[in-house]
Amino acid sequence: MDSSRVICATERKRGKGRSRDREGKKTENMRKIISVELKARNVDFATCKTDLLAVGLFSDVKTLDRLNKELDGKLNGAINRLIKLGDFNGKDGTSAVVYGDERIGAKRVLLVGLGEKKKATLDTVRRAAACAAKKSVESKAQTLSLALHRAFGAALDVSAMGQACGEGTAFGSYCYDEFITGSEDGRLGSLKVALIDPDSATTQKLRKGLSAGAVIGKAQSYARTLANRPANVVNPIQLAAAAKELARGSKRLSCTVFDVKQMAARRMGGVLAVGSGSQNKPRFIVLKYSPAGKIPSTRPKVAIVGKAITFDSGGISIKPAANMDEMKLDKSGGTTVLGTMKAVAELALPVHVLGIVPAAENMPSGTSYRPGDIVKTFSGKSVEVQNTDAEGRMILCDGLSYAVKQNCDVIIDIATLTGACVVALGKYMAGLMGNDDKLIKQLQKASENSGEKVWPMPSGDEYAGEMKSKIADLKNIGSRWGGACTAAAFLGQFVGGKKWAHLDIAGVWSFDKATESTAEGASGFGVRLLTSYLATLTNTKNK
């Protein structure tokens, strides 16, 4: 994404430090997110010229494999000495640097810990690549060569490892700093990554996976940036503009945006109620992906529905002040939908996908919706508002109804919906609910492939029972307990018998602090998961 192109309207008017970009729009001189250029190279490990060469080592494999032994030999045993000293043990999440000399092509060799070999998965490769990319950026090493796949031998598919490396390097090099002025720190503008192998057949396989990985990685970074932008930069109108711009860049994507008048004409009462308190008016964003060629009629038409609350103050049921700033990330479900649509279009997946993003700012004011209000939603069902801070379900229900009306066969919503989900699962996994076992299993499989973890949770009749109102069809909060489940059960009543799954990403929406493989801030969770799900749908056995 060309991040310099999007900036808030008020900033634009001020006219300081403006420039014109390719499209002639006025923009601030903002930093662009580090771009990652990826390729696969057929080259020998030891002679490969690079600023940083990353190799993987398991914690429970005591002897160096052929690649590492060769490097060690050329480095006069430096790798073995480092291991003997105990400065590196191959544990997951650890790494160590050995400096190269004229006998090898690399200026630095990064040993990346892969943990126990028997626990290794594709995500081990992805995280190792992310760790290497992050270290590269930190040490301003502009060329990074990855030989991580070598440690895994035949245990994993080579092409899948190529994809994981593409996704991982985007993830690890990502850092949200577009508002930081000055360039004294010499932060890299781009990172050049090569997956390397001396065998041309292996290089070819890596290359194949890498091209998909590059697309998905970029799409996730795009989602992270949109999510990270604060609420004075991304309001519903600006989010809609970003969706329009995304569609402009792809001939298979089209974007329709409903403004308040158009939503009112359609009686989208949920989105309108939540958006009524803010000066920044709500929008209903629809991105349609039309695949090329004829798609088998048995293949489901999928809707992905993302919650986009550009800021969640709680509204009249206002939130406590502490950490309220984090609620700029409450649009993460919506930004993940935009990122997924970008990936789907660039991968040219042969499946019909509708991206639906109801967007609103939840603010307290004289025009806000109130506790006690009864809202008529797009479905025709009435909802008694008992807490204006349970706003996500109020906008999502209209999004789900829209997907039903568009005749989608499968509906997946993704939302930073409940604090209760964070209490239940912590910050490692998203809650997964739904009404169709096969869909749940497919998403679990996609979760394994993508490394974005999910955990199944219930949302059946008991929970739905708590959402009954005495004076309307439904109310928007349940009892004190099982808040993630009651929220899901509320949503489940708007899917009109369609196959439906719900992802509560309130815990996984962000990293509180940087780790060895990622910067802090928005995670872009769901872009890899949903893209993986949509990609496997195209296997005929998965219809």
Which positions are catalytic?
A: 319, 393
Residue 483 touches which member of Zn ion, Mn ion, ligand BES, none, C-beta under 5-8 Å by kind = ligand BES
Query: Which C-beta is closer to Mn ion: that of 346 or that of 391?
Result: 391
Tell the smallest beta-carbon distance from residue 417 to ligand BES (Å).
6
Residue 332 touches which member of ligand BES, Mn ion, Zn ion, none, C-beta under 5-8 Å by kind = none
Which amino acid is present at 321? A
User: Footprint of Zn ion on this chain (CB under 5 A)?
Assistant: 309, 312, 330, 392
Q: Which residue is nearest to Zn ion (CB)?
A: 312
Query: Within a 13 Å sphere around the CA of 59, how many CA atoms are in the beta-carbon half?
Result: 16
Tell me which DSSP letter residue 322 carries: T
Residue 375 touches which member of Zn ion, Mn ion, ligand BES, none, C-beta under 5-8 Å by kind = none
Is 504 a binding residue for Mn ion by CB under 5 A? The answer is no
Is 389 a binding residue for Mn ion by CB under 5 A? The answer is yes
Residue 204 touches which member of Zn ion, ligand BES, Mn ion, none, C-beta under 5-8 Å by kind = none
Identify the bridge partners of residue 207 per DSSP, sorted by sequence position.
none
Query: Which C-beta is closer to Zn ion: that of 257 or that of 487?
Result: 487
Instruction: Give the burial class of 121: count Cβ atoms within 10 A of its Cβ; 0-12 exposed, 13-18 middle, 19 or more buried.
Output: middle
Q: Which residue is nearest to Mn ion (CB)?
A: 389
User: Phi/psi of residue 403, each to 5°?
Assistant: -60, -40
Query: Which C-beta is closer to Zn ion: that of 67 or that of 324?
Result: 324
Residue 334 touches which member of Zn ion, ligand BES, Mn ion, none, C-beta under 5-8 Å by kind = none
Q: What is the largest CA-CA distance in the chain?
A: 80
Query: Which C-beta is closer to ligand BES: that of 111 or that of 425?
Result: 425
Query: Which C-beta is closer to ligand BES: that of 131 or that of 429?
Result: 429
Tell the smallest beta-carbon distance from residue 17 to ligand BES (Å).
34
User: Footprint of ligand BES on this chain (CB under 6 A)?
Assistant: 312, 330, 387, 389-392, 416-420, 422, 477, 483, 506
Residue 435's closest CA among 413, 406, 456, 460? 460
Tell the smallest beta-carbon distance from residue 477 to ligand BES (Å).
4
Tell me how long the chain is: 543
Tell the smallest beta-carbon distance from residue 244 to ligand BES (Å).
25
Residue 504 touches which member of Mn ion, ligand BES, Zn ion, none, C-beta under 5-8 Å by kind = none
Name the E strands within 347-429. 353-362, 374-376, 382-384, 410-415
Cα(29)–Cα(31) distance, integer angstroms:
7
Is residue 233 within 8 Å of residue 12, measured between CB atoms?
no
Tell the smallest beta-carbon distance from residue 386 to Zn ion (Å).
15
How many residues interact with Mn ion (rule CB under 5 A)?
3
Query: Which C-beta is closer to ligand BES: that of 28 or that of 389?
Result: 389
Q: Which residue is nearest to ligand BES (CB)?
A: 419
Is residue 373 within 8 Å of residue 321, measured between CB atoms?
no
Is residue 373 within 8 Å of residue 367, measured between CB atoms?
no
Tell the smallest beta-carbon distance from residue 235 to Mn ion (Å).
17
Q: How many other C-beta atoms lie within 10 A of the C-beta of residue 321? A: 7
Which amino acid is present at 336? T
- What is the per-residue burial (b if ≥16 Cβ within 10 Å, else e) of 10-41? ebeeeeeeeeeeeeeeebbebbebbbbebebe
Is 197 a binding residue for Mn ion by CB under 5 A? The answer is no
Cα(408)–Cα(498) distance, integer angstroms:
8
Cα(300)–Cα(543) distance, integer angstroms:
7
Tell the smallest beta-carbon distance from residue 525 to ligand BES (Å).
12
Three-class DSSP category at 164: helix
Query: Which C-beta is closer to ligand BES: that of 193 or that of 430?
Result: 430
Q: How many other C-beta atoms lie within 10 A of the C-beta of residue 230? A: 13
Residue 477 touches which member of Mn ion, ligand BES, Zn ion, none, C-beta under 5-8 Å by kind = ligand BES
Contacts (CB under 5 A) with Mn ion, residues 302-321: 312
Tell me which DSSP letter residue 4 carries: G
Instruction: Give the burial class of 473: count Cβ atoms within 10 A of its Cβ; 0-12 exposed, 13-18 middle, 19 or more buried.
Output: middle
The footprint of Mn ion (CB under 5 A) covers 312, 389, 391
